[in-house]
Structure 1
């Protein structure tokens, strides 16, 4: 695929293949062909680590991008050198045909990995375009490559650096290495334009622990998110979409960026996540089943000095000192907002009380009755 100028709207051609046996002579550039900067993408643009910078360059009408060929650039490592060079030559010829079919000629050829060197060199031999070697990593010494692969990558890197009229370095160390090799270089650090940048000054962080499915009041949680749009909620627990098919409130919650679904975690990890929160929330539906139960998550949050905001459920009032009961969604949102700051100033009295609610303490009435019956209950 070839992309050019404003990538969301550009047209695409098929990626280069290894079909055909073109001449290796430099082709004269026709006056009818428009010179272009050609980006040889090692991966499709959407998967490319430097996609933001590549996409930015593609805003220019004279910049085009070529998606990876078939077979991929890794053939430079897998095939014997002679066979690899032949494949690279055919792929370069295919790129030239596609460029010329689009009315373009390669003035600058940008490649991003040493495995692309054979194709880049063959493309230069056919077009006379200059090579730019963009280095974002020192892959030839990476720990995941065996000794033979490192040696092959090292040789390809040296050829790439020597052939390039410019080395584009993503770090000052890569820039230094290029200069030590005597290569012209320019520093172009990484960009993260696509990475979200929400307001970092979150006032309240809430925590939800446990099953997320039919027992969950998704309308309540949606109302909470709508009333407190900057509220961060960390959900720890398995999500069961099969239990709420077609539920629009569930879908809204899943799409709401400040609601982060972390999946199930071990207790140790869940407790560490809770440390980041001001308050726990119990987003249960109000029905006879939920009304009777006593959710474990209330005492778990209290052990870290956090209260739990709950709907009006009778069973939850068992631990009335650890909960804030909210009659409706407005009260729920207000109660959550009121807990701002607890993550840096947890309720130590609540924590002490919760830590005292041990199995031995809770079993005291049972033990007393067993003792009255003459039974040893420990």
Structure 2
């Protein structure tokens, strides 16, 4: 979301909208008219800088003549899948969480009038911070003494999110509350099956894991807000090494918080892990707390029983394999351009996720 903060070293130094004409996805004059009427924190005309990242959503940093900054965000142009790029969902979440201890950008304005620029969009406050995608970014921007600070802040923010009662903040309608894992298993297994033909790829482990997971689902406690993609790539980290804001809430829903925890831990690479097929993850560098320490800290802060955490680890690894399998299928079908895409690495990541899911299940069985 605040993707200038994600790719700031390469951010443009001149505005994309020096002229008052339309940008891709935004009719600048009409949007600025709307901002004058609905977002008093900004005084158009504005400078517009395109921000990279954010699942292809069109996101710009706005700066007015007095130096006030905000971020505007809308879905990509073209035909979208149902429920994809849900700006109303993101707006609801940052609006509701703004009054909690969970750090989010300030909610400034939401436009559902399609006549303004052809899509819903919202405006949020600018947050000073940077995400981390790669180990090289850690080497460049995060000194060794701040790495334990970041680890503790990262897991504390997730614990704070899972402490929020969705009913108390007006988010009871965000999604179904019961059987989160069961519904996810059905959804992603359908995806795997539908992608077998187009991907020209099947793996018996995907089916065996589904059978095991579906018959060993732990009892779910009270539903909580699950971010769905919580990792350093979706947080903005301040110069003090702490999480300044959590961003990209478009797939968030209600469900089992331990699934959210396991997803975050799966992204938290350690120096001794097998090499990632997607490059060196940020936490593969020395100085970060290990996954076990993060899990212990989460348990202490929340009081939740993590004795079956490996179930959720295995579930998320299996789910990741299904997701990438579907992406791989779309590439092979020609539905997505393969320019610059390493298809072999995508395929390898499917197999690696299935192997890691099996390892999690084996650990779970050994300690049963």
TM-score past 0.5 threshold: no
Q: TM-score, normalized by length of structure 2? A: 0.24
Larger radius of gyration: 1
**Larger strand proportion of the pair:** 1
Return the structure number with greater relative CO, CA threshold 8 A, min gap 6: 2
Q: TM-score, normalized by length of structure 1? A: 0.23
